[in-house]
Structure 1
Amino acid sequence: MEQILKVDYLTDNIKNKNKNDTGMALDVLPFLTKRTQEIRKSGFNKVLGEFIRKICEVKLDEKSLKNKELFISSEDNILSEHMADSVEFDNEDDKYDFIRFLSQYLFNQEEIKPVHPYIFNFIKVDKKLNNEFGKYASFMYESFVKGNQEIKNVFGSKETEDILTELVLSKMDVLEEQKNKQEKEYQPLLPAFTSLYQEDLLYLSKYKDYFLTSFPLLTHYYVFMYACQLILKFEQFTEADFQKVQPLYFALEMESISKRRKAADELEGFKFIKDHSINLFRHIHTISHLSHNIFNDDLYKRGQKIPFMPYSELNKRIKENGEEFEESFFRDVKQWIYKYQEWSRKKVTDDSNDLESAFKVLFNCLKAGMNAGVCEKYGKNIEDLGAGQFIKSRGSLGQILNIKHDFLLLLTAVSVKDKRIPLNELFVEFEKRGLAFDRYSKKEIITLFDNLNILDKKSDSGDAQYVKPIL
């Protein structure tokens, strides 16, 4: 009888490689098991250049830059020099002054300043970070924006009403077309959440100056919360709903909190994410094993990457095929549990009597058969991703999900958009984006909005208060 779960492949694969492996399944996160903390040390914004180039399907023509005959010392930025080479000057002093001016306009020390969305294409990645940050860029492109032509237009257009910027963009001809490779690397898992990101980004793009400063922060948040959501969903096994976002409680940076606050709660705040991040690597491997099944047969037989099928999706599809099919899959999972324990030499009690419990036993097998240090390092990537912006240490309370003043206003802007909305509806919009606030934080937010004059108070009733657009 044909195997529904590819037990023979999984057995051969793990024996041949002699290590835990995800096989042919697509990846879902760009994290590394050899934790480098570079995303924390170098900053999230370093990822954006490669991300935008993937969206626009271009690459920096480094050879074109290097081949230019430069008349000014290498202390000035090479891109400024390249643009100056295409402009006629009466003498070298004028050229020197122009390069100095461009460098001050476009660069902060060695960092390029995006004075137009198109400029994001020119943010470079240090060669030593190419692998790690390249993974982030591929993940972000495939999971958040792939195929969205409107977003490609935002970063691919040189249109501007600013004469200086128009001159600069007209001379920035060091990009060349590069089609993205066809084979997928990452499996998008949160369609409703990533659709919100696209909606928010496109709304902000209507306000150019604000967009230039807010786009990096918005993107950073969505990537961080996406990773948090995967931890929450994987821990729910077959009960997870990937169409819905499960909000986590944040605290405002300017408010003091106690251990009784929701943001410090073990189940509803960052403590849950931190405590369960060690399981992320284990869940990814467990689900990858289970994804080698008859539903992915065509791709499997062609030797191509197969979709990553979370517990809940797989369970639903199995049950749709009837009891006999479900029993066969259950037997295959039991067989793989036995085979895996045989390879890992780690014994785990298998008391499963249905598919859902068999998934959990398999997870426990991998938990026993994996190096705990490797799992911990992988999970701690999420702390590196959120550090300094969305995570804050609060003394004895430990790390708390944190929201700063500028991000609160950004979140309000994309939630309200162009028409005022009831205050209560604003908090619903926050929750759609993964943020929840307890009554103390809500009170602080209302006071802040009142001081900023973006709150219409019709009465003391929450239903009669409205938040005005702020862009």
Structure 2
Amino acid sequence: MVYQLDFNKINKFIDKSGKYTFRRRSVASILPLPTREPERAKFDRGFSSITGGIIRKINGKNLIVDTSDAIVEHIISMGKFDDEESKNLFAHYLREQIKELHLGRITSLNQLERIPLAENEEERKGEIDLINFFFDTFIRDEVERVQEILKKQDDSDLLSDVLELSTDHSVTKNNGVEIYYSAFPTLKEHFIRDLENLASNTSFLINHISLFFVHYTFVAMSQLILQTNKMTRFSQDELLPVYYILQWEKPATWRNSSRQGNKMLIGEMDGFFAHEHALNILGMNTFSDKRNQFYHDIKYQLEEAGLEAEREYIQSIYKWMKEIYKEKTNIPVREYSEDKTLDMAFDDLISAIKKGISSEVNSRYQKAFQAIISKFFRKHGGSLGTILSLSQEHLLMLVAISITDERIELKKLWKELEKRGVWLDYHSKEEVVKVLDKLNYMEKKSDSGDAQYVKSIL
């Protein structure tokens, strides 16, 4: 077995009319962030249009759903009416209900599946990318399990039954190829269990499922950013701390939420697009055709193959940088030497690639991530800028899914929140206790108050 980069594959990948192009998503995809502004999701309906698309994908249906006036006309043409007035009244009812769907307002889980994607075709691409990311990260290998959880919600209604008449019933088999990397198996298992817990209360599920989905989307993206920057030290089971503040709290420079929240994530995003390109280069090798090989995956394969294989691969990285990358871009690269380790080779490759990617690409890529923060997690911190925050609704949703028994000890609640990607400092924890106590979700084990418990919300 030869352990080298596949120069032929890479040349086809990078060459566009004789010019070097910093492409991505051939053999590796990291984040669902477009570099073209028109494709950026605007979240005009919150996250509900993406959630609706995820539900359709789970059920093997077409991601594009039609809720145009033509659908109303089609349904009306199939009905029998006593007179013209009843026909017009029913048509008016359908149009008004479809308007509610366009606004993301639903009263049943079945209606959620009918919420359309953005009308703008370019923006729709960004939404579909988010759908695929979520599906591949949390659901792909658990489709039947998730279907069973959602099937328990027998909440069919007149609108859903009527619109079903006009549905395209063609089924997408196997939900297409896997695009993204399910990097965090423990987080994925928490998601499945939390969905099951959430589904125990149908009303709560309907009102919070989009918030639940956007929370897990953001946590997965944030952790991918932090862990990918750790290169071969990527940990699939240990989430890295990301601190939030509660929406009504006052931010301050000394708070963890200022130093280890949005500011940290945006700093980690600086030049991150280079990973999108580099992992495609590194994944085009002679010893594996597996998609989404991250730095730690490649290192593990080479360790299994032995020191000679690892040395051969390291040499091929430096050979490619010198003979191809430098020649095509005129960007200086580091030279190979016997003391170069695999980690050093990866670092040198990333360093060279970062120099070639334009500030415009980096900026547009980062803005797509910031758009999610601004819509769902932003608190304006004055001179501190944007601070990651949780609304009271978001907080209560997280508390609800974290408690699977009748109650949970307060100190264990903080650990459960961290398992779901949320860290709070001492001051925020005090605010959480105040809220839960005010809503009568707190109880003490004894008059001494030695142990405090949080009661189940669901």
Q: Fold match, TM over 0.5?
A: yes
- Matched AA of 1:45: S
The alignment status of 1:294 with 2:289, answered yes or no, reads no
The alignment status of 1:28 with 2:15, answered yes or no, reads no
> Which residue pairs with 1:429 in the alignment?
416
Displacement after TM superposition at 1:365 (Å): 0.6
- Matched AA of 2:226: L
Question: Are the aligned partners of 1:13 and 1:23 in contact in 2 as well (CA < 8 Å)?
Answer: no
Tell me, what secondary structure is at the counterpart of 2:236? coil
Tell me, what secondary structure is at the counterpart of 2:29? coil
Question: Are the aligned partners of 1:287 and 1:309 in contact in 2 as well (CA < 8 Å)?
Answer: yes
Closer, same or farther: CA 37–398 of 1 in aligned 2, 3 Å: farther
Question: Are the aligned partners of 2:41 and 2:124 in contact in 1 as well (CA < 8 Å)?
Answer: no
User: Mapping of 1:340-351 within 5 angstroms?
Assistant: 340-350=325-335
Displacement after TM superposition at 1:272 (Å): 1.3
> Which residue pairs with 1:222 in the alignment?
216
Q: What is the Cα-based RMSD across aligned positions, in Å?
A: 2.8
Task: After superposition, give the CA deviation of every residue in 1:415-470 in whole Å (9 maximum; x if it has no partner).
Answer: 01343111111111111111100001011111111111111122588871111101
> Which residue pairs with 1:372 in the alignment?
359
Residue identity (%): 26
Question: Are the aligned partners of 2:137 and 2:180 in contact in 1 as well (CA < 8 Å)?
Answer: yes
- In the superposition, the TM-score normalised over structure 2's length comes to 0.88
- In the superposition, the TM-score normalised over structure 1's length comes to 0.86
> Which residue pairs with 2:196 in the alignment?
202
Specify every segment of 5 or more residues in structure 1 that has no aligned partner in the other structure, as ranges. 67-73, 300-305
Q: Aligned match of 1:138 in 132, 151, 164?
A: 132
Tell me, what secondary structure is at the counterpart of 1:387? helix
CA distance in 2, matches of 1:425, 1:39: 36
Question: Are the aligned partners of 2:56 and 2:113 in contact in 1 as well (CA < 8 Å)?
Answer: yes
Tell me, what secondary structure is at the counterpart of 2:389? strand
> Which residue pairs with 1:71 in the alignment?
none
- Matched AA of 1:151: V
CA distance in 1, matches of 2:414, 2:5: 44
CA distance in 1, matches of 2:127, 2:136: 14
CA distance in 1, matches of 2:450, 2:214: 32
The alignment status of 1:282 with 2:266, answered yes or no, reads no
Q: Aligned match of 1:438 in 425, 442, 454?
A: 425
Question: Are the aligned partners of 1:189 and 1:242 in contact in 2 as well (CA < 8 Å)?
Answer: yes
CA distance in 2, matches of 1:469, 1:451: 15
Displacement after TM superposition at 1:378 (Å): 0.7
Tell me, what secondary structure is at the counterpart of 2:37? coil
Closer, same or farther: CA 13–96 of 1 in aligned 2, 3 Å: closer
- Matched AA of 1:20: F
Q: Aligned match of 1:118 in 110, 118, 123?
A: 110
CA distance in 2, matches of 1:37, 1:25: 21
Question: Are the aligned partners of 1:26 and 1:184 in contact in 2 as well (CA < 8 Å)?
Answer: no
> Which residue pairs with 1:238 in the alignment?
232
> Which residue pairs with 1:270 in the alignment?
262
Question: Are the aligned partners of 2:31 and 2:133 in contact in 1 as well (CA < 8 Å)?
Answer: yes
Specify every segment of 5 or more residues in structure 2 that has no aligned partner in the other structure, as ranges. none
Task: After superposition, give the CA deviation of every residue in 1:51-74 in whole Å (9 maximum; x if it has no partner).
Answer: 2221111238978x88xxxxxxx6
Task: After superposition, give the CA deviation of every residue in 1:278-336 in whole Å (9 maximum; x if it has no partner).
Answer: 3221112112211122342xx4xxxxxx4111112221221222211221111112212
Closer, same or farther: CA 350–151 of 1 in aligned 2, 3 Å: same
- Matched AA of 1:177: S
Question: Are the aligned partners of 1:106 and 1:114 in contact in 2 as well (CA < 8 Å)?
Answer: no
Displacement after TM superposition at 1:153 (Å): 4.3
Tell me, what secondary structure is at the counterpart of 1:59? coil
Tell me, what secondary structure is at the counterpart of 1:279? coil
Displacement after TM superposition at 1:207 (Å): 1.4
> Which residue pairs with 2:47 in the alignment?
44
The alignment status of 1:58 with 2:55, answered yes or no, reads no
Aligned length: 446
CA distance in 1, matches of 2:64, 2:367: 35
Tell me, what secondary structure is at the counterpart of 2:172? coil
> Which residue pairs with 2:144 in the alignment?
149
CA distance in 1, matches of 2:186, 2:329: 38
CA distance in 2, matches of 1:107, 1:21: 39
CA distance in 1, matches of 2:216, 2:63: 26
Closer, same or farther: CA 102–158 of 1 in aligned 2, 3 Å: farther
